[in-house]
């Protein structure tokens, strides 16, 4: 961290670089428990992180609890929520397996209902993420990060709807 700040001073670009770290609202899969995960996150912040971007989540209450735990642990940097609009029915299975996250039953039912209609699945994923985004904004988040995974049309739709 100090090397970056020194580089900024020496090159006339102070305040230009920011360091972001990952945070896991549903616990990193290698962490023994959520307390240990938050302790490790605090270490990253104490080492100089300027902000946290979360792993994707599909239930905003998970994010709000995570931020509350961070604040109780003394983590005061911004915690930027990250959303992933579902774009295929396969993601209902693949995302939890790959990223150790939960997908709410209501979203799973909605996607399964349309599983044979790719456009309907895409629209349902966009609708869910737009509702999440609108709720986050209404509750004062400083920004939202989107995991596009190469599919930006749904994010553009969300941005048009929410902003």
Q: Answer whether residue 116 shows pLDDT above 80.
A: yes
Residue 23 corresponds to which tokens in the numbers above? 């945070």
Q: Which of 14-18, 25-29, 41-45, 154-158 has the lowest mean pLDDT?
A: 14-18
* pLDDT tens per residue across span 70-90: 999 999 999 999 999 999 999
Q: Answer whether residue 2 shows pLDDT above 80.
A: no
Answer whether 41's CB lies under 8 Å from 71's CB: no
pLDDT band for 59, please (50, 70, 90 cuts). Answer: very high
pTM, rounded to two decimals: 0.90
Averaged pLDDT, 124-153: 94
Domains of the chain: 2-162 (3.20.20.220)
Q: What is the pLDDT of residue 1?
A: 60
Residues 6+ apart with CB under 8 A from 19: 1, 4, 48, 49, 50, 51
Q: What is the pLDDT of residue 138?
A: 97
Residue written as token pair 């995570």: 66
Averaged pLDDT, 24-31: 96
**Helix ranges restricted to H, the chain:** 2-10, 34-46, 60-72, 91-99, 105-113, 118-138, 153-162
In sequence order, what are the beta bridge partners of 82?
145
Closest listed residue to residue 146, CA positions, set 67, 68, 55:
55
- Going 149 to 99 to 49 to 134, the CA torsion angle's sign is positive
């Amino acid at each position: 961290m100090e090397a970056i700040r020194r580089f900024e001073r020496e090159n006339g670009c102070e305040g230009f670089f920011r360091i972001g770290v990952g945070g896991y609202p549903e616990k990193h899969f290698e962490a023994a428990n959520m307390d240990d995960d938050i302790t490790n996150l605090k270490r990253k912040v104490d080492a100089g992180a300027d902000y946290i971007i979360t792993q994707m989540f599909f239930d905003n209450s998970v994010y709000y609890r995570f931020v509350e735990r961070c604040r109780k642990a003394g983590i005061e940097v911004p915690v930027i929520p990250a959303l992933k609009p579902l774009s295929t029915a396969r993601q209902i299975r693949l995302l939890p397996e790959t990223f150790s996250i939960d997908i709410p039953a209501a979203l799973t039912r909605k996607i399964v209902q349309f599983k044979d209609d790719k456009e309907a699945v895409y629209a349902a994923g966009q609708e869910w993420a737009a509702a999440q985004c609108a709720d986050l904004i209404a509750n004062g988040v400083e920004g939202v990060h989107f995991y596009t995974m190469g599919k930006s049309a749904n994010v553009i739709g969300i941005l048009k709807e929410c902003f």
